[in-house]
Structure 1
Amino acid sequence: MDRRLLLLLLLMMEQNALCEQQQQTCTKSVVNSCSDCIKSGPFCAWCQKLNFTKPGEQEAVRCDTKDQLKQKGCDDEEIISPFNYADITKSVPLSMSFKNEEPVQMSPQKINLQLRPGLPQTFRVAFRRVEGYPVDLYYLMDLSYSMKDDLQKIKELGNDLFAALKRITRHAQIGFGAFVDKTVLPYTNTNKEKLAKPCDENDQQCQAAFGYRHVLSMTSKETEFERKVAAQNISGNLDSPEGSLDAMMQAAVCGDKIGWRNSSTRLIVLTTDAGFHMAGDGKLAGILEPNDEQCHMENGLYVKGSEMDYPSVGQLAMALEKHNIQPIFAVTENVESVYKKLSKLIPKSEVGVLSSDSKNVVELIESAYNSLSSKVTVTHDSLPDNVRVVYTPICDNPGPAGDSRGVCNNVHEAKTIQFNVTVTVDSCIEDKSFTIRPLGFKDTLTVTLSTNCKCPCENLEDKTHPHCSHNGSIICGICNCKAGFIGQFCECSIGDKDERSLRASCQRNNGTECEGRGDCVCGRCQCHNTESGSSFYGEFCECDNDHCERFQNKQCGGNGDCECGTCKCHSGFEGSACQCKKSDEACRTSDNTVCYGRGSCVCNRCVCKEGYQPPLCKTCLGCPDPCQTKWNCIECVVGLFEKNCSTECRNTKVKKVDQFTLTTKECQQKDSEGCWIKFKLDQLVGEDNYRAEVLKQRECPPPPNFAAIIGGAIVGVALIGLLVLMLVKMLLYMRDVKEYKKFEKEKKKSQWNDDDNPLFQSATTTVANPTFTGE
């Protein structure tokens, strides 16, 4: 019991030292109670002293850091500030060596934490690997036809393999299993004869096609291992990738059939010369049912291989971690890179290169085991929401501190190492728990969490108090008014005040009283609770901490605090949802500036100012031509006019400066006197930042020849007048010709008739000669 008290005292001292190192600030909003204050931040304290606030003053004044409250006149005994509490409920000492009983390799085993939101709590975990800890090794071999030579070698290495295990521990067991691939097209030839004998026709020692077969359960008998392995024959299939993930999954989840012991280091040695199929590949054979991570072994055979897809790498990694199994991939050189990438996704795994006939497999297993057993990795299972854990290793060869695991390298047997575990709860939660354990070992530490979000003064009896005008009781220094009375001191009755004026003071520009989120009481908004149980706050209840942007289904990405709808990121994070770790590596330019001084680096990407283009804000679209915008400065530099050069050249350097040049542009402009000026503009880092250099003296045209101009003008006027007259004459002539042609055309169309006029009669005269009688 004394040892537990001493350890608890040590933890409290570490916690106090951590708190002193941190800058104690209280970022608060308008609060209505002591509990609201405690939830505002880890260093927020509440003053319950009567008359601490002035009449009409918001109760948020009572909420501040301890030092600030003392400066405002609050005594120590009147300040409420809950602290963390750690209680180790089970701490069995570490075992020195392996005996028949279950060894203890990690201590403590149970701890209860009552934490204040935002205030970290650190405790220490000790680990020591016992000497002679049992080892269970399951040899899982690829029996496709290309592994024929390797199988023969394994049959000869049984004694050497057992000898290597005995050098590790006296309590060693070994098992054996084999795999090829699913017995369906396109992985295996489904012809009846080929299923029975998938190998070369000349090879008589060939067994029928299969996916995964469990051959030998864990045994300590060398002769049994040699006999079973000697009875194995090669098999075959069609494609190069094999069903190794299927086999590993079954070997992991079929613990009772494999014979894994409860207290042992569990190893799977996978030997193969080919890659592996994984989730999704089963669609080639019309297999759509995902792997269910369950044991489907009957009479030593995996019976669901033709009905269930391959497992994913993630599924396999979780199954191996759940069952404390550490894989050793003994593979040929041609697939070494593939399995090294796989090993990065599976914690506590190793990769070794097999010789062409697997004769070095014993040395490979021994080396991989030493590497695995000397690396101690402490991690946790899934954490409750809003809980963070950071591991800091304390050993001779520590890995970096991290929020997912702690690592110590080159740890020998019987060597005690320690890890500082820092737990932080970001918001109030009900009782939760999670488990911490070293990968590959059975030992666990159960951490039970609860939060301290309430003030003890809120549980006092409800009695009227003179401070509250005998119309209410005192709760944590503030008045809790009876029905019908309102106000800071319960001095307001709903009937004796102008209700309209009181309500008007609770309305913002839009006219909604307390934004519809609270009640207007004596001219002040008393805000309601949100759906999550927290409170709206602000002068008009316009704020809450439940509706900030989310990332990966976590508010503010789990890396910040929601304040009035906006994420306030923790140190080291940024982004609208605190989704990014602060870094400007991708924003750095060739001259080691950030975004060429034309933007800001957010989430490791340049956010450019208007006009400048990503990715590094080097170019600008729509920006005015600098030859035009810098012209006034150039005119000022060459001394054409008396101008304020400091104003005209505020973003232009006219002296030689040693700065990185982005682009260079040569310009030529004509001044007000008609002279050409050539100058060069070097674009520098920054917005509208240039260096100007005049290249040549002004090039002015010669003065005008007035005599020639006047003579030319006279001749020109005469010629123009003559041309006008000729033009008029020609137009008149063309009009006359046109009229004459028209007349001629009409003349040809006219016709003359010779008809007599019917009104006209010629004269008739009859003359008779009287002397002529006709006789």
Structure 2
Amino acid sequence: MSEFIEIGLILLVLSTTADGQVCSGTRCGQCLIFDGCAWCKDPDYVFNRCAAESQLSLDGCRQIVKRKTHSVQILQNNDFSDGGPTEEPVQIKPQRMKITLVPNESLRDVMVFYKIAKNFPLDLYFLNDPSYTMRELVASLRRLATNIADDIATITTDFRFGLGTAMDKVIDPFTLQDPKSRLNPCGSLYCDKPYSFIHRLSLTNNVNEFTDALSRVNTTANQDIVEGLFDGLMQVMVCGNRIGWRSKARRMVLYATDINFHHAGDGRVAGILEPNDCLCHLDGSGKYTKAEIQDYPSVGQIVQKARENNINIIFVIGGADNQIIRNLYYDQLTAILPGGVTNASALSTDASNILNIVRENYRRLRETVKLITSGVPEEITLDVYTNCRTGGRTLDKTNICTGLNIDIWTNFTLFIKSHFTVCPDKRKVNFTVFPEGLEERVQIEVEHVCDCDCQLEPKAERNSTKCNSRGTYECGICHCDTGWSGKNCECDERGTVMDACGTDMGICSNAGNCTCRKCSCFEGYSGDRCECNDRNCPSYNGLLCGGNERGQCSCGECICDVKYNGSSCECPISTEACKDNNGTLCSVFGVTSLYSGAICERCQHCPGTCGNNKNCVECVGFNQGLFNETICLQRCQNVEVVSDLEETVTADNETTLTACVIQDKDACVISFNVYNSPDRQFIEVKSTKRCPLGPPNPVTIGASVSGAIFLVGLILILIWKLLTMLYDKLEYSKFESEIQNPIWEKSDNPIYKECVTTVQNPVHEANIILEDGPKLKE
């Protein structure tokens, strides 16, 4: 057993690479998944084909298949472009690439480059809070619209503005519902009717149109302090066609308010339970139609849609308490939104700093790039590195670069590695790399290189004669078609195992394994389906079928050697063992039932020999019979008493033995042997005789029965006496307890009668009533 363990350990060491990876696999591609493993495709190779390269060389392999290397193919690589009226801007390259990826090995030379386009399109949408406290913002936007456009033009000439206003749901308790408030929620001041969100101007490059739209914005009001701009923000992000978002532009929403926001769950106080579906619900006039039907969006929904639609949200917070509002609510929300902006902006009292807010936020978004990956499968690890922070000296593991401009650009390095133990079913996968907040994409197609070249045509031989035309000969071995197995695809595995090897007792009668649609039986079993138990044969002399020299057990029956026969091969065919010294078969007495012994040399019931010696046997052996002492001494000198009789002749070859059994007058059996030789006769008598049991003694039987009856009666009397003693003891204990508790003395004796008898007059009470009542007439 220890030798097998040592061999197994040696094979394990030989198939292990330098880094401890165990090489395994029945096909070349399966083997080369593991780093450091190689495959031997020599047809006559007898060792483990999948092992470390050094081991294959040591074992004499001539054709070693090694792991392939990665390859990167650039499919589309449009150069950077600043954009403009006649050309499309390009800020990231390459745009498409194909990677052949070797399993479990890192690829570190995939480069992605990013450069700011001078005229990259900008879509800027203003979402305003139209409350009275935010009226200065609208006035400032009207006044500074041209200045904002001129300032942005210094960064990009391709920009558009859009406008919308959002207040709150027109339902109690968010908005007053009395008829007067529904017409004018501001009381003595003139206001527009309350509304949730109105999209007022789609994105346009006409600044005058933007200014005119601002001039039509009037204040309105709601009832509670918090406002519902999230409803409007969701519609701005998801209503792409109505808003006018361009597919390749930086999209910005300037969200301006001076108070906290309603979010998912707040609608319950108004009985609104339907969650926000994140879909566009604007009517022809631009009004949001589901405000009083669906709940406010959640923070998670806002973040999700901002990422999906590449929206950069800039929060501008006004009012006297803008610092508190920003710190409590909007700074935390800004940190989790895409775009890299970390804080909300504070609006001055007169909103005059709106120009600086737009300028600075756009510059910050433009000069910062965050590379995002999407669709990367689980079996691939992708890490992003860049040297923008180290000035090109070393790579830093980060996907963010800041401080860029039209003259300073950067590159990102992708580290890609697949990690799996078997090749995935889906060999080709696609994922994208893109700057956060932009629509530009780098499409990356990855193909897992799992097959060796010798597994592919034309090197692989389909329906090869080396595989009995039932498989593909590849890399030195046969890869069998479905339903076939074996070294040369010689085993038919079609159909079920039960059809091929099944019995009522199980597969191969639970006594073997089904291999190649045939039963390979365990030791001790045979038959086509191992139905024969080769240990279930008769035995002779304690050996199955008399031992291997006499016969073999086959399916419950002994197959005897040519020298033996019988059910257990117990009978020799040869007659040599039945001959006496003279060569006589069975001493000539083999057909007579009176004789016994190995060669019929003994006669147990021959009348002359046994009967003639009866008297001498009785007188010498047991002092009985017809001979007296004198005659016994004279005639029976050749008789001797022994403790046991011999079964065979121990004298010379001419002496014969006759075994005799006789009965005396008491029906006792006496056994003796008579030895006859040419010159004399000798008798041995067994010292003990076997006598039958005598008749039963009636006195003994009677005494035994009487004794048994007396004993049973005595036992019954003792049991009765014991029970009466226990009963008397219980009665006495009860009597003592009643004496000690003399409650019975205070009760009336039911048979006692008093000596004085009292009789009640039935009219006694009636007389008393008459005396107190009215008197009767005489």
Does TM, normalized by the shorter one, top 0.5?
yes
Whether the 8 Å CA contact 1:28–1:37 is kept in 2: the answer is no
Helix, strand or coil for the counterpart of 2:362?
A: helix
Deviations 1:662-718 (A, max 9, x none): xxxxxxxxxxxxxxxxxxxxxxxxxxxxxxxxxxxxxxxxxxxxxxxxxxxxxxxxx
Q: CA deviation at 1:488?
A: 5.9
| TM superposition score normalised by structure 1 | 0.55
Whether the 8 Å CA contact 1:328–1:352 is kept in 2: the answer is yes
- In the alignment, structure 1 residue 333 sits paired with structure 2 residue 323: yes
- What residue in structure 2 maps to residue 457 of structure 1? 454
Aligned to 1:446, which of 443, 456, 459?
443
For the residues of structure 2 that align with 1:418 and 1:127, how far apart are their CA atoms? 6
For the residues of structure 2 that align with 1:432 and 1:464, how far apart are their CA atoms? 36
- What residue in structure 2 maps to residue 64 of structure 1? 51
Whether the 8 Å CA contact 1:121–1:422 is kept in 2: the answer is yes
- What residue in structure 2 maps to residue 241 of structure 1? 226
For the residues of structure 1 that align with 2:182 and 2:170, how far apart are their CA atoms? 8
For the residues of structure 1 that align with 2:429 and 2:271, how far apart are their CA atoms? 43
Whether the 8 Å CA contact 1:45–1:80 is kept in 2: the answer is yes
For the residues of structure 1 that align with 2:68 and 2:160, how far apart are their CA atoms? 53
Task: Please tell me the residue identity of whatever aligns with 2:387.
Answer: I
- What residue in structure 1 maps to residue 37 of structure 2? 44
For the residues of structure 1 that align with 2:280 and 2:453, how far apart are their CA atoms? 53
For the residues of structure 2 that align with 1:183 and 1:362, how far apart are their CA atoms? 33
Helix, strand or coil for the counterpart of 1:190?
A: coil
For the residues of structure 2 that align with 1:251 and 1:454, how far apart are their CA atoms? 50
Whether the 8 Å CA contact 1:48–1:62 is kept in 2: the answer is yes
- In the alignment, structure 1 residue 81 sits paired with structure 2 residue 78: no
Helix, strand or coil for the counterpart of 1:215?
A: strand
Deviations 1:709-760 (A, max 9, x none): xxxxxxxxxxxxxxxxxxxxxxxxxxxxxxxxx9xxxxxxxxxxxxxxxxxx
Matches within 5 A, 1:296-445: 296-298=281-283, 299-331=285-317, 332-337=322-327, 338-350=329-341, 351-396=344-389, 406-427=399-420, 428=424, 429-445=426-442
Matches within 5 A, 1:564-583: none
Aligned to 1:223, which of 208, 225, 234?
208
Q: CA deviation at 1:517?
A: 13
For the residues of structure 1 that align with 2:82 and 2:169, how far apart are their CA atoms? 47
Helix, strand or coil for the counterpart of 1:319?
A: helix
Structure 1 residues 374 and 74: alpha-carbon distance in aligned structure 2, compared to 1, 3 A threshold: farther
Task: Please tell me the residue identity of whatever aligns with 1:268.
Answer: V
Structure 1 residues 50 and 251: alpha-carbon distance in aligned structure 2, compared to 1, 3 A threshold: same
Q: CA deviation at 1:272?
A: 1.1
Task: Please tell me the residue identity of whatever aligns with 2:454.
Answer: C
For the residues of structure 2 that align with 1:254 and 1:493, how far apart are their CA atoms? 63
Structure 1 residues 178 and 389: alpha-carbon distance in aligned structure 2, compared to 1, 3 A threshold: same
Task: Please tell me the residue identity of whatever aligns with 2:160.
Answer: Q
Q: CA deviation at 1:470?
A: 12
Matches within 5 A, 1:37-186: 37-39=31-33, 41-54=34-47, 61-75=48-62, 77-122=63-108, 123-186=110-173
Alpha carbon RMSD of aligned pairs, Å? 4.2
Q: CA deviation at 1:113?
A: 2.2
Task: Please tell me the residue identity of whatever aligns with 2:331.
Answer: K
Structure 1: gaps (5+ residues): 1-22, 55-60, 495-501, 504-510, 525-741, 743-775
Q: CA deviation at 1:456?
A: 3.2
For the residues of structure 1 that align with 2:445 and 2:88, how far apart are their CA atoms? 24
For the residues of structure 2 that align with 1:314 and 1:484, how far apart are their CA atoms? 53
Structure 1 residues 346 and 24: alpha-carbon distance in aligned structure 2, compared to 1, 3 A threshold: farther
Structure 1 residues 73 and 148: alpha-carbon distance in aligned structure 2, compared to 1, 3 A threshold: same
Deviations 1:617-650 (A, max 9, x none): xxxxxxxxxxxxxxxxxxxxxxxxxxxxxxxxxx
Matches within 5 A, 1:301-700: 301-331=287-317, 332-337=322-327, 338-350=329-341, 351-396=344-389, 406-427=399-420, 428=424, 429-458=426-455, 459-465=460-466, 474-479=473-478
Whether the 8 Å CA contact 1:85–1:115 is kept in 2: the answer is yes
Aligned to 2:28, which of 31, 34, 56?
34
Q: CA deviation at 1:268?
A: 0.8
Structure 1 residues 345 and 432: alpha-carbon distance in aligned structure 2, compared to 1, 3 A threshold: same
For the residues of structure 2 that align with 1:384 and 1:329, how far apart are their CA atoms? 35
| TM superposition score normalised by structure 2 | 0.55
Q: CA deviation at 1:379?
A: 1.0
For the residues of structure 1 that align with 2:360 and 2:229, how far apart are their CA atoms? 22
Equivalent residues, number: 482
Whether the 8 Å CA contact 1:175–1:258 is kept in 2: the answer is yes
Helix, strand or coil for the counterpart of 2:413?
A: strand
Structure 1 residues 282 and 302: alpha-carbon distance in aligned structure 2, compared to 1, 3 A threshold: same
For the residues of structure 2 that align with 1:170 and 1:482, how far apart are their CA atoms? 65
Q: CA deviation at 1:90?
A: 1.3
- In the alignment, structure 1 residue 208 sits paired with structure 2 residue 181: no
Deviations 1:336-375 (A, max 9, x none): 1221211222110532122234222211221111111111
- What residue in structure 2 maps to residue 287 of structure 1? 272
Structure 1 residues 305 and 50: alpha-carbon distance in aligned structure 2, compared to 1, 3 A threshold: same
For the residues of structure 2 that align with 1:483 and 1:323, how far apart are their CA atoms? 49
Q: CA deviation at 1:131?
A: 0.9
Deviations 1:98-131 (A, max 9, x none): 3422122111111122323323334111111111
- In the alignment, structure 1 residue 187 sits paired with structure 2 residue 174: yes
For the residues of structure 2 that align with 1:253 and 1:106, how far apart are their CA atoms? 26
Structure 2: gaps (5+ residues): 1-16, 494-500, 503-509, 523-738, 740-778
For the residues of structure 2 that align with 1:380 and 1:517, how far apart are their CA atoms? 50
- What residue in structure 1 maps to residue 13 of structure 2? none
For the residues of structure 2 that align with 1:321 and 1:483, how far apart are their CA atoms? 48
For the residues of structure 1 that align with 2:516 and 2:169, how far apart are their CA atoms? 65
Whether the 8 Å CA contact 2:315–2:345 is kept in 1: the answer is yes
Whether the 8 Å CA contact 1:131–1:414 is kept in 2: the answer is no
Task: Please tell me the residue identity of whatever aligns with 1:452.
Answer: V
Task: Please tell me the residue identity of whatever aligns with 1:166.
Answer: A
Q: CA deviation at 1:270?
A: 0.8
For the residues of structure 2 that align with 1:517 and 1:493, how far apart are their CA atoms? 10
Structure 1 residues 463 and 310: alpha-carbon distance in aligned structure 2, compared to 1, 3 A threshold: same
Identity %: 28
Q: Which of structures 1 and 2 has the bigger CA Rg?
A: 2
Using the TM superposition, name which of 442-451 and 473-482 deviates more. Answer: 473-482
Helix, strand or coil for the counterpart of 1:268?
A: strand
Helix, strand or coil for the counterpart of 1:297?
A: coil
Helix, strand or coil for the counterpart of 1:302?
A: coil
For the residues of structure 1 that align with 2:128 and 2:440, how far apart are their CA atoms? 30
Deviations 1:153-212 (A, max 9, x none): 43433333223322322222212111111212232222232222222x2212x1111111
Helix, strand or coil for the counterpart of 2:154?
A: helix
Q: CA deviation at 1:401?
A: 8.3
- What residue in structure 2 maps to residue 507 of structure 1? none
